[in-house]
Amino acid sequence: MSDASGTAAPTELVTVDEQLARVLATVGPLAPVRLPLAGTWGLTLAGTVTSSTDIPVFDNSAMDGYAVRHADTETASAGNPVVLDVIADIPAGSDHDPFVPTGAAARIMTGAPVPSSTDTIVPLEHTDSGTVRVAITTAPRPSAHIRRAGEDVRAGDAVLEPGVLLTPFRLAAAAAAGSPTLLVRPAPRTAVIATGSELVPPGTPLERGQIPDSNSLLLASLVAEAGGVATRVGTVRDDADALRAELEACRSAGVDLVVLSGGVSVGAYDVVKAVLAPLAGVDFISVAMQPGKPQAFGVLPDGTPVFGLPGNPVSAAVSFEVFVRPALLRMQGRSDIFRPTLRATAHEGWRTPPGRRQYMPVIIDREDAALPRVRQATRGGSGSHLVGGLASADGFAVVPAEASEVLPGDILTVMRVRS
């Protein structure tokens, strides 16, 4: 933007919270789909899962041993065993409910239904393991080793609430509850397009002016980590027609989200700005944060949300964490869309630009301490080009916009990104 005299007008900054609110007001949950249980790991649940059965399903034995009437076994001891007739054998999966009279026992395996006529299980170790008659050498507690129907979950109870990530533990609970399918939000299909004529694939011998493209992999991996699927990943040179063609390919492929990197600033070849700024649905904004000040966000003419992240790799990483990840989780209908934070003390001091909230890549020391300690992960400070240092970052220290300096011993909020 420039004024009539041609000098740049001061750019108005929006706060991180304002920009995030704008993003979250624009993106909504994707339509839910019903999928077989086995295909839902890593997706987000869209409906409540109620149990169709008690868990455990029926009273069953917790031990390999003998089902007995407790009254028969009260006097048992090593010196004076109680001897019972073994009148049945019940493996797991058996539908048999033998009548066990006084003075008798049924051999039973772990998980098998307890005969209705018995009330106690004696583990094998407290017997002589007999198969015709069994000597019981330890008196059991009444009701010992019986896992009761419904003691974990009652039929009709909710076992999973909408909005949760489907982890292995939650899938096990859904399976035990008898759900053959789950209503889930699909993984957002996301295009990741890094722009820049200087970019070459990692490992390519570099000519003057060229650098390896690290943002494609960074952003595609972050998309996957956030539950999305990067269906188109690649680079385009700083050429408006090439970017338009790539966006058209995204439209034909029906992606749910487009994430661009680079070309959002004020440079002469800032291709994202050249292509998207004329669109009514996309805004180019300066956010009061460091790194990550120049941002583009909005919707493409077909309604697909689009992010234009700054090209500097640390800026791209921070911008993803602050804006794109919450958006991807919102698209999945996730109830908790933010990274966990912790409080930590600064081991060293550093400078921070007043008026911008700083996200400093940090290493967290002594995380198990009451107050962990953080130090800068990127040698040389918060430079948004210091991608090498990102490798050791455990998170980002969030320094308030009002601060101009972090002093050793200051207490900071840290966004935890690596676990």
Ligand X SMILES: Nc1nc2c(c(=O)[nH]1)N[C@H]1C(S)=C(S)[C@@H](COP(=O)(O)OP(=O)(O)OC[C@H]3O[C@@H](n4cnc5c(N)ncnc54)[C@H](O)[C@@H]3O)O[C@H]1N2
Residues 365-394 that bind ligand X (CB under 6 A): 384-385
DSSP per-residue string spanning 335-389 = S--S--EEEEEESS-EE--TTSEEEEEEEEE-TTSSS-EEEESSTTSS-TT-HHH
Q: Of the two residues 216 and 319, which places its CB atom closer to ligand MOO in the complex?
A: 319
Query: In which element (H, E) is residue 82 found?
Result: strand 82-90
Cβ at position 243, least distance to ligand X in Å: 12
Query: Which of the choices ligand MOO, ligand X, none does residue 145 contact, using the CB cut-off of 5 to 8 A by kind?
Result: none
Q: Rounded to whole angstroms, how far apart are CA atoms 2 and 321?
A: 31
Judged by CB under 6 A, does residue 361 bind ligand MOO? no
Judged by CB under 6 A, does residue 186 bind ligand X? no
- Sole binder of ligand X in the list 87, 109, 211, 229 (CB under 6 A): 211
Contact between residue 194 and residue 262 where contact means Cβ atoms under 8 Å apart: yes
Q: Is 2 helix (H, G, I), strand (E, B) or coil?
A: strand
Residues 234-293 that bind ligand MOO (CB under 6 A): 290-293
Judged by CB under 6 A, does residue 357 bind ligand MOO? no
Interface stretch with ligand X, choices 147-155, 309-317, 320-328, 355-363 (CB under 6 A) = 309-317
Long-range contacts of residues 371-380, Cβ cutoff 8 Å, at least 24 apart: 371/343, 371/344, 371/345, 371/411, 372/342, 372/344, 372/345, 372/414, 373/344, 373/345, 373/346, 373/347, 374/344, 374/345, 374/346, 374/347, 374/412, 374/414, 375/346, 375/347, 375/348, 376/348, 376/350, 378/314
Contact between residue 144 and residue 125 where contact means Cβ atoms under 8 Å apart: no
Judged by CB under 6 A, does residue 313 bind ligand MOO? no
- Sole binder of ligand X in the list 40, 315, 358, 382 (CB under 6 A): 315
Q: Of the two residues 114 and 309, which places its CB atom closer to ligand MOO in the complex?
A: 309
Judged by CB under 6 A, does residue 288 bind ligand X? no
Cβ at position 281, least distance to ligand X in Å: 19
Q: Rounded to whole angstroms, how far apart are CA atoms 69 and 151?
A: 22
Q: Of the two residues 60 and 315, which places its CB atom closer to ligand X in the complex?
A: 315
- Sole binder of ligand X in the list 312, 352, 378, 382 (CB under 6 A): 312
Query: Which of the choices ligand X, ligand MOO, none does residue 332 contact, using the CB cut-off of 5 to 8 A by kind?
Result: none
Q: How many residues belong to the site for ligand MOO (CB under 6 A)?
A: 9
Q: What's the CA dihedral at 271, 288, 363, 226 to 10 degrees?
A: -60
Interface stretch with ligand MOO, choices 2-10, 41-49, 310-318, 367-375 (CB under 6 A) = 310-318
Give the torsion sign (CA, 39, 41, 42, 45): positive
Which residues here bind ligand MOO, judged by CB under 6 A?
Answer: 290-294, 310, 312, 315, 384
Which residues here bind ligand X, judged by CB under 6 A?
Answer: 194, 196, 198-199, 211, 213-216, 261-267, 270, 291, 293-294, 310-313, 315, 384-385
